[in-house]
Amino acid sequence: MNHSLILDGKTPAAAGYSMPAEWQPHQCTWISWPHNRDSWPDKFEPVEPAMARFVGALSRSELVRINVLSAAHEKHVREQLEGHAHPARIAFHHFPTNDAWCRDHGAIFVTRDRPGHPLLAMDFQFNAWGGKYPPYDLDNAIAAKMADTLDIPHVSIPMVLEGGSIEVNGAGALLTTEQCLLHPNRNPSMTREAIESALCDNLGVSQILWLGEGIVGDDTDGHIDDLTRFVSEDTVVTVVEQDRSDENHLPLAENRERLETLKLADGRSLKVLEMQMPRPVEFQGNRLPASYANFYIGNRVVLMPTFNDPADEPNRQLLARCFAGREVIGIDCTDLVLGLGALHCLTQQVPVV
């Protein structure tokens, strides 16, 4: 749908649009079903059962839209979901993808509280995390297809941005990392100031809060959704590593220190709650980006990755205190994280308007 008349030459922010927080109501959650066996080398078989448990839990309270390769692939996925998800809360779309990470290749949605087109899809460019995993042409086409399916306008933005690299509180603040957004493999011609302006203009935020480095094993160059997440307008949970000999200890400690200095636009300091990192999760000698911060906030559930670790339950209880009106469910992601992502990476919410 043409957006030119909607924006009338204005930026989305100037036209009244802004990005809601993830805990605000969804009309649905969108995912791209895993199929690329190269992303889970030698261990794809456990991935689909984990996805079925995840989608089953999520579909209790909202519609789940699923991108699949074809009619045959849809039939296969339906069989995987049988006994887990109610068919009435699943919608399939024959939108082929290169991979499963819908948080990064899907549209990012902004809303406005005024008559006429309250929902707008932002179609940033996707280059597979700095060109690491070609081809990515199918993934880069998904955002526009999502908008067309919803019959809403979309804006194509000449800037590379993945949804997992940003985190908003729905009240003007956006968290991100220097490692990712300032990396030359994304937008080499854009300065820090230009990137900040683009985020404010397109996502309707008013301040950018910067953290530093991401966790070991994260091939996205430090996505925020493995580090620090808003759980309310002024509160974040952030992962920490107590073991000083662990290579994640120092970058996470530095991020923790930064959070102490950050303030919201109205002068309030952030309230910071700590989540302990799991013990190292490895496959064939390689450290995987296992993080409890990669949880997804559904309408009535919060789905948190677990890793068969002593820290699973304390972290689940922490999130349960943060989201008192939602059931916090652990989903074993020990095999899923071999693909170098987890639950939040696989999802993209579509807000209610």
d(CA 12, CA 275): 35
CA-to-CA separations, 324 to 67, 287, 317, 318, 352, in angstroms, rounded: 31, 33, 10, 10, 21
On whether the CB atoms of residues 159 and 193 are closer than 8 A, the answer is no
Q: Which of 102, 180, 200, 345 is catalytic?
A: 345
Is 345 annotated as catalytic? yes
Distance (Å, rounded) from C-alpha 218 to C-alpha 81?
29
User: Which candidate, 62, 51, 55, places its Cα nearest to that of 22?
Assistant: 62
The Cα–Cα gap between 253 and 269 comes to 18
Distances (CA, A) of 200 to 117, 127, 130, 180, 192: 20, 21, 22, 17, 12
Local structure of residue 21 (DSSP, 8 states): P
DSSP-based three-state secondary structure for 236: strand
Rg (CA), the chain: 19
Q: Which positions ≥6 away from 113 have C-beta within 8 Å?
A: 16
Q: Which two tokens stand for residue 41?
A: 């080398």
Q: Helix (H, G, I), strand (E, B), or coil: what is residue 96?
A: coil
Per-residue tokens: 66: 């699923």
Give the residue carrying structure tokens 């080499």: 188
Give me 37's structure tokens: 């066996």
Distance CA 291, CA 297 (A): 15
Kindly list the catalytic residues. 345
